[in-house]
A and B are shown apart, each in its own frame.
Chain A
Amino acid sequence: MDLVATILVDGLIYAGWLFIVSVGLTLVFGVLNILNIAHGSLYAIGAYASASLVGVYFAAGGDAFPYGSYAALILAAVLVAVILGPLLERGLLRYFYGRDEVLNVLVTYAVFLILEDVMKLIWGVNPYFVYEPYTLLGTVEMGSLFYVGYDFAVIAAAIIVGLAVWLTLNRTQIGKVVLAVIHDAEISQTMGVNVKRIYLGAFMSGAFLAALGGALTAPMISVTPGLGVNVIIVAFAVVIIGGLGSVPGAAIGALMVGISRAASVHLLPEAELFIIYFVMAIVLVFRPEGLFAKTQARKI
């Protein structure tokens, strides 16, 4: 029984941060039709930026109110989105809208390579540690098992992010406009929608979510170069499993990947790396466009 509970809790924790990253990726794809490899770099930059900001916070006397370090984590993600979002979307990606989707993947791959070295130039190659926010929430006892409270805070953050994105898209006026742009950008423009602004907003939101995923993960790990390279490919698996552009799909995909990985870690550790892509391959075999993808008619 303990084993099942452990797998479920570990799976949920992993799925939590994975969902935050993946929902940003699926949002950007849904609106801009670009599968953004540089999303992994934004995640890593979020982690580095949060490590730096939390360090600055404590160096400036943040020990008096350590909970303020959580605000520093979120502020780091906001800064990444505000600085890099417009730079990448307005400065580069807008020139590739409507082009072949594989070519666009390569464009973002080039950005990924560039940002990997930019991070090394800014933060160097030595690891960064910001353990303070991780220890602040104490531990949670579940039966015979002890978990760090921060892990559950990440799950809560994932739920909040998921609800916020879903409610914004489905229950607000701006959300309706975004859905209209996703459906047909050209018609939306003729109806007076500022499509450029929607594209920019969607990309910045995606960048924020990627950076937030990195910022929330930073206290749990040592922040080192190459952080984004593995994250992006797992996030791809999640959004492909769920169906590109689907928010509920990203949630289901993250849960499937999280729980499969946790089960593998506890039951068959040799298959840990294998299992994520195996699940993705199996889902694609039976649902070629993912679990929540809409059926599209083929054009003659």
Chain B
Amino acid sequence: MMRFSVFTYAAIGFVALAAGAIVLPDWAMFLFAMALAKGLVCLGIVGMMRGGVVSFGQGLYYCLGAYTATLAANFLGVSDIFLLTLLSAAVCLLVGLIFGPLLSSYRGIFFAMLSLALSMVLYGSLSKMSFIGGTDGLNIGAPTFLGWAPEGRPLQTALYLYVVTIVVISGALMRVYFDSEQGLITQATRDNELRVEYLGASVRTVMAYNYAFGALLGGIGGTIAVLALGHVDPEFAFWTTSGEFVFVAILAGYLSVPAVFFAAIILELVRSFSSLYFPNTWQLSLGIFLLIVIVTLPSGLGSLVSRRKGQNT
């Protein structure tokens, strides 16, 4: 069977997703853009999951990225989407590099809870900062694209294609990283950390890198989400937001990168249609859906692909 390179898959993925700009109606394009933005955050969690740890506080970077972009737009007058993304990514990467080494020695539920505590510290702080909106949050204007300022459908299409481009590039790079020496050390850590250390690799360094990459992706995801929504508030860092990211990561599993974005889109669709058809019981529907997924696919959607590959070889 012919095997394609990562970049061939990326090109196919780009064409498939970009086609959505032509065929999707406005509401679906917005929904997909939000799902893909959240998928970026979840991809960061999957990077950590490969090493056996799960961050329950990825809302920290989702929120930090969104606020950085909003503050830069409102107070510095920056409206260019590329500049806003770079700025948010840099801030989140920096914070990730500070907290990464600290969190790299924690495992299991303690890693989850400490990361959760950090995101709740941000939530608590932002909720009380009335000069940046407090619990009401802040609005952000429409972005520009290297001086071009589209409106209406062209703006939505441009934003959608922007998130698709970032998703495809990030996905391809993360796949390359997963298959690199560092990525394989991460996976070996999941099986037995102590053995990896005895073989001479620094598990803590790898974990810190994974966390920093997660922070970077979280910041980019938050920036795109706030630009699509036009509004940010402290709920971006609340534990339920982080919980949804973890759910998408678990739904996707740690075996496949495309599965992460697929899972994010599924969750967004389930949530939207639940809200539409069961407005008073959408949480109930979401909870039942969650349970069904956990029971039927304990290793995530990615396991379906790897199972098929296993059958073919």
Q: Which of B106, B112, B127, B287 contacts A112 (CB 8 A)?
A: B287
Verify if B243 is at the interface (C-beta below 8 Å from A). yes
B18 neighbours in A (Cβ, 8 Å): none
Q: Which of A101, A110, A244 contacts B287 (CB 8 A)?
A: A110
A-B Cβ contacts below 8 A, count:
124
Q: Of all chain A residues, which has the CB nearest B250? A: A106
Verify if A272 is at the interface (C-beta below 8 Å from B). yes
B200 neighbours in A (Cβ, 8 Å): none
The interface size bin for chain A is 35 or more
Verify if B140 is at the interface (C-beta below 8 Å from A). no
Verify if A111 is at the interface (C-beta below 8 Å from B). yes
**CB atoms of B290 and A110 under 8 A apart:** yes
Query: CA separation between A280 and B129, bound complex, in Å?
Result: 21
Contacts A110-B290, A272-B128; is A289 near B110 (CB within 8 Å)? yes
Instruction: Give B94-122 interface residues, CB cut-off 8 Å to A.
Output: 102, 105-106, 108-110, 112-114, 116-118, 120-121
A105 neighbours in B (Cβ, 8 Å): 56, 109, 112
**CB atoms of A35 and B283 under 8 A apart:** no
The smallest C-beta distance from A286 to any residue of chain B, in angstroms, reads 11
Query: CA separation between A244 and B250, bound complex, in Å?
Result: 23
Verify if A233 is at the interface (C-beta below 8 Å from B). yes
Contacts A113-B287, A117-B284, A300-B195; is A35 near B120 (CB within 8 Å)? no
Verify if A121 is at the interface (C-beta below 8 Å from B). yes
Instruction: Give A221-235 interface residues, CB cut-off 8 Å to B.
Output: 229, 233
Verify if B93 is at the interface (C-beta below 8 Å from A). no
**CB atoms of B124 and A277 under 8 A apart:** yes
Verify if B313 is at the interface (C-beta below 8 Å from A). no
Give 1 or 0 for each of A92-114: 1 = CB within 8 Å of chain B CB.
10010001011101110111111
9 closest cross-chain pairs (CB), A and B: A273-B124, A113-B287, A274-B124, A117-B284, A114-B287, A110-B290, A277-B120, A270-B128, A281-B117
Name A residues whose Cβ lies closer than 8 Å to a Cβ of B.
35, 37, 92, 95, 99, 101-103, 105-107, 109-114, 116-118, 120-121, 229, 233, 236-237, 240, 244, 269-278, 280-281, 284-285, 288-289, 298-300
Name B residues whose Cβ lies closer than 8 Å to a Cβ of A.
54, 56, 102, 105-106, 108-110, 112-114, 116-118, 120-121, 123-125, 127-129, 192-195, 239-240, 243, 246-247, 250, 280-284, 286-288, 290-291, 294-295, 298
8 A-B interface contacts by CB (under 8 A): A120-B281, A121-B280, A273-B128, A276-B124, A277-B117, A277-B118, A280-B117, A299-B194
